Chain A
C-alpha cells in the first residue's frame, strides 16, 4: 500500500499541530500502558526468586503458596511473601509491581474501615474505595475496559453506519426516503432509556452492551456518510467511472469510499470520547457492565454517595478529564489537519 502525497501532507500538518500531536502521543502511551497493565498494577509479583529458581507469576496459571514453602494451597499472597522472605533473610526475594493490588481484591484492615485515604506506606497511592479495593488499580483497569469498549463500539457503529449510509446516498430513491423516516423515528427513542430497560432484564456483558448501543446509536454516522456519499456521487469522476462501465460496487468501494475517508477520520476521536462517556454514564446509573467490573462510572457513583471520601471523586474525575481532553485535542487537530480552513486576516 502506498500513501498518497496528499495523505502525507495531512499527516505532516497533524504533526505540526503540537497540542493535538502531544495529546495523541499521550493517548497512545496510555492505551499501550493499559494493555500491559498487569506489569504495573497487579497483586501478582513480577519475579519471585525462591531457592535459586526464578518464577514469573504475572501471566499464566496461579502458583499455590506451597510452591514457595508457605502452608496454603491457594494462590500465593505475594505481598505477604515479600515480607516473609525479608524476615527469613535466606536470599529469596520478590519483585512486586509498583502498585501491588488487583482491581478485585478487598484489602481490609482490622482497625481501618474502608474507604481509606491515600497512603504511600501501604501503597494505596489513591486510597481505597468503599469495599477496600485499590482506587488506582480500579482506575487503570477501568480505563482499559472503557477504551476497549469504545474502540469496539467505534468499529461496529462505523461498519453499520458506513454500509447503510453509503447505500442510502448512492442508491437514493425510495430506499433513501424509507430509511430517512426510520432514522427519524429511531433517533427520537432516547437510547439511554432503552439501554436501561434492556439491561434491567438481561445483565449485559461487554458484547451485549456494544450490540445494544449499536442498535440504538447507528443513526449519527449513517446520516453523515449519507450526506458525504450524496455529494460525492454528484461529482464528475463518478460519472466518468460510470461512463467507463464500472459497476456500482466498484464505484462505491474504489471511488467513493476512499474519498469519504477524510471525513470519517475527523469524526473518530469524538466517537471515542462519546463511547467512554456513554459507558461511564451507564455504569454511574448502575445499568452498565455488572459489578465487580472495574469502572469509572461506578467510582463516580461511590464518590457521589460519599462526599467525605474526596480521593474517590478527585482521582476518577482527574482521570476522565485527562483522557477526554486528550481525545478532544486529538480530534480538533485531526479536523484541522484533514480539513484546513484558510482564513483571510485583515491587518
Chain B
C-alpha cells in the first residue's frame, strides 16, 4: 500500500506539469496583457494632456518600438514560449511565484496575506458542516419518512438549489440593508485597529455571520444526505439485524454498530477539504467584499495580472491533487478492508 501511495505522489508531477503548461499557454496567448495595458494608459495620458500638439502617431501608438521592446524584456515576453515557460517553472519550483504586473508586489506575499482569511472561513465552514450534518443525517435516517424527515428534506433541498452567493445577496438585502442588523460586507469594521481584543472578536464574528451562512448553504445538503443514506444502508445490513435479533436496543444497534461503518464515506470526503478550505468561493467573497484567495484570483483574472493568476492556480491545483490522495488515505485509514494496489 505504501508503494501505491508513493506512486500516486509521483503521478502528481506529470499532472502538475500538464496543468502548468495549460495555464501558461492560456495566459500567454490571450491578448490584453500588461503591455497592452501600459500602452492604453499612455494613450489615456496623451489624450488627457490633450493639447493640439499631440500628433496622430502618438495617439495611435504612444510608445516607441524601443520602449515596447524594453517592456517585453521586463515582463519576459521577448523570449520564446518554451524558454520563458521553463524559467517560470524553475522559479516556481524554488518557491518564487514572480511579481504582480499590476501592484508590483511579490505574488507569494499577496497570496500569503489572503490565506488566513480564506482559512478562517474554510475552517469555520468545515466545523459547522460536519457539526450540523452528521447529527442531522443520523436523525433523518432514524426517523425516515417521518414529518421531521420530510420537513428537513425540503429545507435542505431549498438550500441545495440556491447558490450560496445568491442567498448572500438575499441576506444582505434583508438583514443588512432592510433591518440593518448585520454589516453590508467586508471582514472587519472601519475602526478595527483601535478596538480592544474582545471588541475585535465580536466585530469579526458580527461581520462573519452572513458570509458563513452563505458558505454553509451550499455545503450542507451533500453531507447531510451522504450521512443519511449510508446510515440507512447500514441499518438494512444483516449485521444490524443480527444485533437487533440478539436483543440489543435500537439505540445501541445504531450507535454501537451501524454508525461507525457509516462514517467511512464521510471520511473519504475529508481529504478534499484542504483545497476547499484554502481557495474559497470568489462569488461569495465578491458579494460580501471579503479580500480572500477567491477574490484575489478573480480580480487578477479580470485585470490580466497573470503572475498572480498562475500563482493562485498553481497553488490551488497542487492542493487539489494532494487532497485527492489524502482522501484515499483517509479511506484506507478508516476501512481496513480497502486495499490499494
Residues of A at the B interface (CB closer than 8 Å) are: 19, 181-182, 184-186, 188-190, 192-194, 196-198, 200-201, 273, 277, 280-281, 284-285, 300, 303-304, 307-308, 310, 313-314, 317, 320-321, 324-325, 327-329, 332, 341-346
- Indicate if the CB atoms of B172 and A307 lie closer than 8 Å: yes
Q: Are A310 and B157 in contact (CB under 8 A)?
A: no
Is B162 within 8 A of A320, CB to CB?
yes
Q: What 20 additional pairs, Cβ within 8 angstroms, besides A181-B14, A321-B161?
A: A186-B22, A188-B316, A189-B19, A196-B301, A197-B26, A197-B301, A198-B30, A201-B32, A284-B283, A307-B172, A308-B177, A310-B177, A313-B169, A314-B170, A321-B158, A324-B162, A325-B162, A341-B233, A345-B145, A346-B235
Measured CA separation A57–B18 after assembly (Å): 57
Flag B143-183 by CB within 8 Å of A: 1 or 0 each: 01100000000100110111101100110110011100000
Chain A residues whose C-beta falls within 8 Å of the C-beta of B321 in the assembled complex: 188
Least CB distance from A186 to B in Å reads 8
Q: A189-B23, A307-B172, A343-B232 are in contact. Are A201 and B30 (CB under 8 A)?
A: yes
Residue of A nearest to B275 (CB): A188
Q: B162 CB to closest chain A CB, in angstroms?
A: 6
Given contacts A197-B26, A200-B32, A328-B161, contact A188 B173 (CB under 8 A): no
Residues of B within 8 A of A310 (CB): 173, 177-178
B214 at the binding interface (Cβ < 8 Å): no
Q: Is B59's beta carbon under 8 Å from chain A?
A: no
The CA-CA distance from A112 to B115 in the complex, in Å, is 47
A282 shortest CB reach to chain B, Å: 11
Near A by CB (< 8 A), chain B positions 10-32 give: 14-15, 18-19, 22-23, 26-27, 30-32
Residues of A within 8 A of B178 (CB): 310
The chain A residue sitting closest to B177, CB to CB, is: A307
9 of the cross-chain contacts (CB-CB < 8 Å) are: A181-B14, A189-B26, A196-B298, A200-B302, A277-B163, A304-B287, A320-B162, A324-B162, A343-B236
B267 within 8 A of A: no
B238 CB to closest chain A CB (Å) equals: 10
Q: How many pairs of residues, A versus B, come closer than 8 Å at their CB atoms?
A: 117
A178 smallest CB distance to B (angstroms)? 11
| Assembly CA distance A237 to B313 (angstroms) | 45
A-side contacts of B177, CB under 8 Å = 307-308, 310
Q: Which residues of B contact A196 (CB under 8 A)?
A: 298, 301-302
Interface of A is mostly: helix
Asked if B309 CB lies within 8 Å of chain A CBs, one says yes
Give the nearest-CB partner of A197 in chain B.
Answer: B30
CB-CB contacts of B231-250 with A at 8 A, as 1s and 0s? 01101100001001000001
Give residues in B with beta carbon < 8 Å to A: 14-15, 18-19, 22-23, 26-27, 30-32, 144-145, 154, 157-158, 160-163, 165-166, 169-170, 172-173, 176-178, 184, 229, 232-233, 235-236, 241, 244, 250, 253, 282-283, 286-287, 297-298, 301-302, 309, 313, 316-317, 320-321
4 closest cross-chain pairs (CB), A and B: A307-B177, A324-B161, A344-B236, A185-B18
- The answer to whether A193 and B162 have CB atoms under 8 Å apart is no
- CA A122 – CA B302 in complex, angstroms? 40
Give Cα distance in the complex from A200 to B33, angstroms: 12
Interchain CA distance A153-B33 in the complex, whole Å = 30
Q: Enumerate chain B residues within 8 angstroms of A300, measured Cβ to Cβ.
A: 166, 169
* Cα-based distance from A185 to B30 in the complex (angstroms): 20
Q: Hey, which chain A residues are within 8 Å of B30, CB to CB?
A: 197-198, 201
Partner of A304, one of B23, B169, B302, B313: B169
B173 and A313 contact, CB distance less than 8 A? yes
Distance A133 CA – B301 CA, assembled complex (angstroms): 31
Tell me whether B19 and A314 are in contact (CB under 8 A): no
A residues near B31, Cβ cutoff 8 Å = 201
Contacts of B286 in A (CB 8 A): 285
Minimum distance in angstroms from B115 CB to a CB of chain A: 18
B86 CB, nearest partner CB in chain A, Å: 19
> Do the beta carbons of A281 and B163 come within 8 Å of each other?
yes
A303 proximity list for chain B (CB < 8 A): 169, 173
CA distance A327 to B163 in the complex (A): 13
Report Cα–Cα, A321/B170, bound state, in Å.
11
Q: Which residues of A are found within 8 Å of B22, using beta-carbon distances?
A: 185-186, 189
Chain A residue, CB-CB nearest to B31: A201
Please, how many angstroms separate the alpha-carbon atoms of A198 and B158 in the complex? 33
Chain B residues whose CB sits within 8 angstroms of the CB of A327 once the complex forms: 161
Partner among A181, A182, A188, A194 whose Cβ is within 8 Å of the Cβ of B320: A188
